[in-house]
Structure 1
Amino acid sequence: MTIQIFTTGGTIDKAYFDALSEYQFTQTIVPKLLEVGRVTLAHKVETLFQKDSLELTDNDRARIRAAVTASDSRGIVITHGTDTMTETAAALRGIEGKTIVLVGALSPARFAESDAPFNLGMALATAQIAPSGVYITMNGTVFDAFAVTKDRANGRFVSLEPSA
């Protein structure tokens, strides 16, 4: 199985430039994370764009959906900013025959204490073994992408209570 990884930006790919006192996007760090993690799983990495998820548009989400649909891979990982990850997941609803995993980080992967490498590893594992559907892997948990929210106050993702 070959896992298709699409990068779209988000904190996972941000770099801090002290002179500018802000985060900016440079080249995706995902290939380096895979190399450092000694990942031998067959994979392909394609950058769709590098944006903060708060700047994503409906057209961007349509582009992600088209890329996922066109991919020959059954296992798909999408790196994404955490603020609108669930909105993009909703745009991927109904794609049959694929395990789609959105993943991000709460601190840039270039930081020593980032959650990015662990989250990416979780996403790769989920893409290999989970049934078809859309998932989010954050904080050591695999979430149903349609039953999760970002708890900004506590810096983590949490499952939503099932509706009665």
Structure 2
Amino acid sequence: MARVVAAKENAAVSDVLILTTGGTIDKLYFDALSTYQIGESVVDRVLRTAQVKLPYRVAEVLRKDSLELTDDDRALIAQTVADAPERRVIITHGTDTMTHTAQALAGLRGKTIVLVGALAPARFAESDATFNLGMALATAQVAAPGVWIAMNGTIFDGLRVRKDRAANAFVAVD
């Protein structure tokens, strides 16, 4: 089950649940010759730095690169979302298989679920992570129930999007 990492004080029930699963957003690199590791999530620090006042809760589900996620991992993510009291859920996720997880969440009803990731780790000065996380937080507050992906300054229907590796961006599909 998810482990609570941080929660805003005085929030009996949070408005938004943020589940962390790993991916580039939380990657650490030690030097040019090292392989990456997925470190402790930076989500709470990023939101505190941005002075977010909306009550939220952060819980870690996994710490994996999305290419390593299994069907069982996706089932765990879906069950965690289903069991959560919050109706608004953000999931930090690696970009390579984000759309697969969106498909696995499609059957959940009554929740606004936003998947978000980064093309560069949040710990890097020139990262899209902070902007993407802000977009996800805004989307979670205003979008209708369903599955959404917040990437590249755009909100996508989570079931009608793909990652274009050549363009290093997400694009809508019909």
Q: Same fold (TM over 0.5)?
A: yes
Partner residue in 1 for 2:154: 141
Instruction: Output the CA distance in 2 between the equivalents of 1:99 and 1:19.
Output: 39
Partner residue in 2 for 1:30: 43
Instruction: Output the CA distance in 2 between the equivalents of 1:151 and 1:22.
Output: 24
Residues 31-73 of structure 1 show CA distances to partners (whole Å, capped at 9, x for unaligned) of: 1111111111100000001000000000000000000000100
Listed as ranges, the matches of 1:88-127 within 5 Å are 88-127=101-140
Residues 1:52 and 2:98 aligned together = no
Instruction: Output the CA distance in 1 between the equivalents of 2:93 and 2:165.
Output: 16
Given candidates 25, 35, 42, the residue that maps to 1:12 is 25
State the TM-score, normalized to the length of structure 2: 0.90
Residues 1:158 and 2:137 aligned together = no
State the TM-score, normalized to the length of structure 1: 0.96
1:19 shift after superposition:
6.9
Instruction: Output the CA distance in 2 between the equivalents of 1:82 and 1:25.
Output: 14
Instruction: Output the CA distance in 2 between the equivalents of 1:69 and 1:133.
Output: 13
Cα 1:75/1:18, change in 2 over 3 Å: same
RMSD: 1.0
Partner residue in 1 for 2:98: 85
